[in-house]
Every structure is written in structure tokens, then in C-alpha cells.
């Protein structure tokens, strides 16, 4: 295993007290052959150090939030200030208004927002609000998109396109699964078929407008426009899960990303949006928002209930404000883009040199590496890649101090702290990994 003796020891200890030794299954190494995950001790900028003192270049970025790098001084100062002033009041603060204004300015479809504590909560609540507003109960979602761990969105595709779902987790009752229809991403006909079939039962269509959960996948040109039009003409709401994508590619969200080349912003504007990850600057957060008349369904104005002891807490909000402030640095997103472009070019060249089949999906500063020789534009294609090859690559990179997510579906995230030197080192490590993989074929 790549884990040093102290990680091995801590893993054994953790297993005694914490289920599976981890507090989120994505942190376990189960998908890459098992064994002890690496226990981290400290992070600074683009690096973290494990419990055995080994340094890693971090492309995991904590599954997305750490876009500024670890312990960014502006965010750290904001968190310290919040801690000194009291972390929780159970009463509103001005900080929440400031942050709501910042989000609204960056994402114009948000007339009103509400802060919660995680992406899961944000998504879960958009569904409740959509149901309250439409008086309908079913939702349509897309195969391979992940929307957190609430019951409704832990329902997978049944057999064939546009069939009712089957629970993806024990404990999700079949009655819940019967409320969910799963269709393939980037397939407008499958969506239209499902809308036709279930018509006025559909409260909402829930989508990652740009996918981050089976690699980085762009909607094909025109797809989101057609999705929004078909959904609206069915009287259903469009919900964008932008937990990964908001503030990822530019200072704004996928719905305002010019890389989508939408005919007009209004053609791809959702009714509701779920946010999380980056907007918390590394502290727990979620948010949801959208059209005023829909958001007015929420208590205390309307009949849809949602609450939270920790919601909008000053520490998370302060970290979020500081993070968005730092992200406004001119040229920051272009720098992430340039770094990722260098990395993409280097990885592609190294793979070619050693005859390794590799498809790289890159969107600005994020990319995903798929061990296959076909494009990846939907979940079927993402599944049809070589997981064992990925696991070998993952471990060879880890050995050389390059940390990726332990899953073939996850992206590599550039942070504002990465440098060309890191990219050069990473490409050299990948070249070595590919050479070893080619020799062992």
C-alpha cells in the first residue's frame, strides 16, 4: 500500500471507532483496490503533508471547495475573525445579506437565496420547493449525476432509458424510487420521452448543467436550451445542481459560463439552483435559490418547510465571502485554465508515448482522465473505462507524491496555488506511471 506506517496505524484505530474508518465513503480506497487511505495532517497552498511527513501535490482540492489552495491567508483571516466574534447566534447577521448579494450579483437567476449546511441539503430542499410550487411529485434526473445523499437522488436508472428508478442505496424505500425517473445525460430525446410519458406528474428536472460526477462532461451544444424549453412547456421546473460547477470555471456559475455558447442566458436559466463546495471557502455550506415566486414557497413566507440551527452561521459565511473576494483577483481563472491546459497536453503526450489509451475531458481548470479510447459524454461511456488501469495509475501517482481522488470518475482540480513547476513535476510523474503500466501490460 502507499500508506506510510502512521497512516496504517491510524486507519486501524479509525476502523475501531468510525464506520469504515472514514467519514465519507469517497475517502476510502475501496474503489482503487482497498487498504489504508492516507491520513493528512496539514495543508498549505497546493500541497498537503500526511501523518508520515510525506508531501503531496493536491489535485483533489477536497472534492472541489479548495479552489484557492489550503489555508489561503484571506480566508484564514476571515475564519479567525468570525471565531473571535462568536460563531453562532441563532439570529440573523449582516454577513448573510452581504453574501446573498454577492451570490445574486454573480448568478442572476437567484432572486432570493437561502443558506444551508451542505450540497445535499441544498438539493434536497430545491426538490421540496419545486414540489410545493408545482403541486406535482415526480422528478427526472440523469444517470451518473450525483446530487448528495438524500433519499430521492439516491435512486439509479432502471433498465433502459426513461424508466422508473431503483434504489441505489439500502434504506431508500421503493415508494421513493417510484417518484424518480432517470434518463441518460446529453440525450434530449430520452428526456422528451420521459416528459411525454409522465407529463403533469413531473415537478422538476434536476441536472448538473456541466457534469462533475462522472468526469468533467460538457452538455452538447443546444442540449441545455432544449432541456429548459421541453421542461418548461411541460409545466415542470428546471433545477441546476451547481454544487461543483459554481465559481469553478469563472466568477459565476455554469448557467453564466460563456463556454456553453448558449444563444441567450435566459434560454438556459434554471428556476432553482443548488450551490455548495466553493461558496463555503472550505467550511461547511450549501445554498439554494431561484425565482422569487418559487422561493416564496419557503417558510416563513410559504408552506414549504426548511430550517437549520447552523444555517448561515457566521464562520461559514465569512469564509465564503472571503473566498469569493479572493476569486475576483484579475486573471485568476485564466491562470487555472492555462495550468490545466499544460497538464492536459503533458498527460496526453506521455500517454501517447507509452501507448496508454487515455481520454482527457478538460473544462477550464478542471479535467478528468479516462482510461479508454473513446469519448466520454455520458455515464455509460464513463463506466466503460478501465478502472483497474485507473487504480494502478492512482497508486503510482500517490507513490510519487501526487494526490488524486481515489475514483476513476472524479476530476482533477487546479487551485490558485498550483504553479507550472507543480504541473511539470506532475507530468514527469505521470510519464513514469505510464511507463510502468506499459511495461506490466
Q: Does 100 bind ligand PMP (CB under 6 A)?
A: no
For residue 149, the minimal CB distance to ligand PMP (Å) is: 7
Give me the residue label for grid cell 430521492: 152
Find the binder of ligand PMP among 148, 165, 184, 289 (CB under 6 A): 148
For residue 259, the minimal CB distance to ligand PMP (Å) is: 18
Sheet of strand 47-50, all strands in order from the earlier edge strand to the far edge: 40-44, 47-50, 55-58, 402-403
Q: Is 30 a catalytic residue?
A: no
Q: Does 209 bind ligand PMP (CB under 6 A)?
A: no
Cell of 273: 439552483
241 and 259 Cβ atoms separated by less than 8 Å: no
Provide CB contacts within 8 A for 258, sequence distance 6+. Answer: 250
Q: Which is nearer to ligand PMP, 227 or 396 (CB)?
A: 227
Whole-number CA gyration radius for the chain: 21
Q: Does 147 bind ligand PMP (CB under 6 A)?
A: yes
| CA 285/CA 277 separation, integer angstroms | 7
- Main-chain phi, psi angles of 122, to 5 degrees: -60, -50
Q: Is 277 a catalytic residue?
A: yes
Q: Does 208 bind ligand PMP (CB under 6 A)?
A: yes
44 and 72 Cβ atoms separated by less than 8 Å: no
Q: Does 182 bind ligand PMP (CB under 6 A)?
A: no
For residue 146, the minimal CB distance to ligand PMP (Å) is: 5
* Distance from the Cα of residue 289 to its chain's centroid: 18
Q: Does 219 bind ligand PMP (CB under 6 A)?
A: no
Q: Which of residues 52-81 bind ligand PMP (CB under 6 A)?
A: 63
Q: Does 280 bind ligand PMP (CB under 6 A)?
A: no
* Angle (CA) 10 14 19, round 5°: 155
Q: Which is nearer to ligand PMP, 145 or 351 (CB)?
A: 145
Q: Does 290 bind ligand PMP (CB under 6 A)?
A: no
Q: Which is nearer to ligand PMP, 219 or 234 (CB)?
A: 219
Closest CA to 213 of 408, 13, 431, 22: 408
Q: Which stretch binds ligand PMP (CB under 6 A): 146-154, 262-270, 306-314, 389-397?
A: 146-154
Q: Which is nearer to ligand PMP, 7 or 369 (CB)?
A: 369
For residue 208, the minimal CB distance to ligand PMP (Å) is: 5
| CA 189/CA 161 separation, integer angstroms | 10
Find the binder of ligand PMP among 186, 213, 316, 385 (CB under 6 A): 213
Beta partners for residue 115, in sequence order: 287
For residue 249, the minimal CB distance to ligand PMP (Å) is: 14
- Count of residues touching ligand PMP (by CB under 6 A): 16
**Catalytically annotated residue among 277, 288, 333, 422:** 277
54 and 4 Cβ atoms separated by less than 8 Å: yes
Q: Which is nearer to ligand PMP, 234 or 407 (CB)?
A: 407
Cell of 150: 438524500
Q: Does 273 bind ligand PMP (CB under 6 A)?
A: no
Q: Which is nearer to ligand PMP, 297 or 407 (CB)?
A: 407
Position with the least CB separation from ligand PMP: 119
Q: Which stretch binds ligand PMP (CB under 6 A): 79-87, 112-120, 161-169, 408-416?
A: 112-120
Cell of 136: 406535482
Q: Does 151 bind ligand PMP (CB under 6 A)?
A: no
* Distance from the Cα of residue 428 to its chain's centroid: 28
Q: Is 241 a catalytic residue?
A: yes
Q: Does 244 bind ligand PMP (CB under 6 A)?
A: yes
**Side-chain-facing half-sphere of 289: CA atoms under 13 Å:** 23
Cα dist. 219→224, 230, 253, 399 in Å? 7, 16, 14, 35
Q: Which is nearer to ligand PMP, 241 or 344 (CB)?
A: 241
For residue 227, the minimal CB distance to ligand PMP (Å) is: 16
**Catalytically annotated residue among 146, 223, 288, 333:** 146
User: What residues are annotated to the active site?
Assistant: 146, 241, 277
Residues in touch with ligand PMP (CB under 6 A): 63, 118-120, 123, 146-148, 208, 212-213, 241, 243-244, 276, 286
Amino acid at each position: 500500500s502507499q500508506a506510510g506506517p502512521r497512516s496504517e496505524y491510524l486507519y486501524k484505530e479509525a476502523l475501531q471507532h468510525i464506520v469504515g474508518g472514514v467519514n465519507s465513503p469517497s475517502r476510502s480506497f475501496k474503489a482503487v483496490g482497498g487498504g489504508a487511505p492516507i491520513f493528512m495532517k496539514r495543508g498549505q497552498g497546493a500541497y498537503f503533508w500526511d501523518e508520515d511527513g510525506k508531501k503531496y501535490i493536491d489535485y483533489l482540492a477536497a472534492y472541489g471547495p479548495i479552489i484557492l489552495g489550503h489555508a489561503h491567508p484571506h480566508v484564514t483571516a476571515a475564519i479567525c475573525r468570525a471565531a473571535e466574534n462568536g460563531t453562532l447566534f441563532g439570529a440573523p447577521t449582516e454577513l448573510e445579506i452581504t453574501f446573498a448579494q454577492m451570490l445574486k450579483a454573480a448568478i442572476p437567476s437567484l432572486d432570493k437565496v437561502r443558506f444551508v449546511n451542505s450540497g445535499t441539503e441544498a438539493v434536497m430542499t430545491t426538490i421540496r420547493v419545486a414540489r410545493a410550487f408545482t403541486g406535482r411529485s415526480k422528478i427526472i434526473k440523469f444517470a451518473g449525476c450525483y446530487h448528495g445523499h438524500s433519499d430521492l437522488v439516491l435512486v439509479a436508472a432502471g433498465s433502459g432509458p426513461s424508466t422508473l428508478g431503483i434504489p441505489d442505496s439500502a434504506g431508500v424505500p421503493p415508494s421513493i424510487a417510484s417518484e424518480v425517473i432517470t434518463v441518460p445525460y446529453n440525450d434530449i430525446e430520452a428526456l422528451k420521452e420521459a416528459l411525454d410519458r409522465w407529463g403533469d406528474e413531473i415537478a422538476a428536472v434536476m441536472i448538473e448543467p456541466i457534469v462533475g460526477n462522472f468526469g468533467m462532461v460538457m452538455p452538447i451544444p443546444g442540449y441545455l436550451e432544449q432541456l429548459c424549453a421541453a421542461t418548461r412547456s411541460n409545466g415542470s421546473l428546471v433545477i441546476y445542481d451547481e454544487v461543483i460547477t459554481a465559481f469553478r470555471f469563472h466568477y459565476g456559475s455554469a448557467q453564466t459560463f460563456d463556454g456553453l455558447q448558449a444563444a441567450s442566458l435566459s434560454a438556459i436559466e434554471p428556476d432553482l439552483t443548488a450551490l455548495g463546495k466553493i461558496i463555503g471557502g472550505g467550511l461547511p455550506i450549501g445554498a439554494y435559490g431561484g425565482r422569487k415566486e418559487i422561493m416564496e414557497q419557503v417558510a416563513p413566507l410559504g408552506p414549504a418547510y426548511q430550517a437549520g440551527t447552523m444555517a448561515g452561521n457566521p464562520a461559514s459565511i465569512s469564509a465564503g465571502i472571503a473566498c469569493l473576494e479572493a476569486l475576483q483577483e484579475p486573471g485568476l481563472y485564466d491562470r487555472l485554465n492555462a495550468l490545466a491546459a499544460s497538464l492536459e497536453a503533458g498527460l496526453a503526450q506521455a500517454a501517447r508515448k507509452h501507448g496508454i489509451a487515455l481520454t482527457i475531458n478538460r473544462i477550464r481548470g478542471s479535467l478528468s482522465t479516462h482510461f479508454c479510447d473513446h469519448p466520454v459524454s455520458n455515464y455509460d461511456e464513463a463506466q466503460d473505462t478501465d478502472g483497474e488501469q485507473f487504480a494502478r495509475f492512482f497508486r503510482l501517482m500517490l507513490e510519487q507524491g501526487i494526490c488524486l481522488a481515489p475514483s476513476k470518475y472524479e476530476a482533477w482540480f487546479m487551485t490558485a496555488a498550483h504553479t507550472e513547476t507543480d504541473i511539470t513535476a506532475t507530468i514527469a510523474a505521470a510519464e513514469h506511471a505510464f511507463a510502468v503500466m506499459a511495461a506490466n501490460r
